[in-house]
Amino acid sequence: MNWQWIGLTVFSLTLLPAGLAMAAGWAPARLRARLAPVRAHGWGLLALYAVAPLNALPRLTGASPQTSLVLTAAGGIVAVAGCLSAGVARLATDRRGVR
């Protein structure tokens, strides 16, 4: 149980603020060129963050194993969707010649 709290806290303190800032269109100047579609990368990062609560909260609340399994699988699907959206945004930017 302690590892679930630690993981949820670490991800909430790191990925959540960074993802929210990027989804709002803000990125540090030195990284803006590398993260060309900043908003798309922000939404992808938020999707990766969503895995932590979807995995940890059912376990911490004592939900049934079936509920935990379903929500963990949903978190995996959300993570894959976030990675794909960031990758597609990056691919579209590279094809336009913007680097």
* Token output for 61: 């609340």
pTM score: 0.80
For residue range 12-39, list pLDDT tens digits in order. 998 889 889 988 988 887 777 777 778 8
- Chain centroid to CA 21: how far? 12
Measured between its terminal Cα atoms, the distance across the chain in Å is 44
For residue range 62-74, list pLDDT tens digits in order. 999 999 999 999 9
Please count the residues of the chain: 99
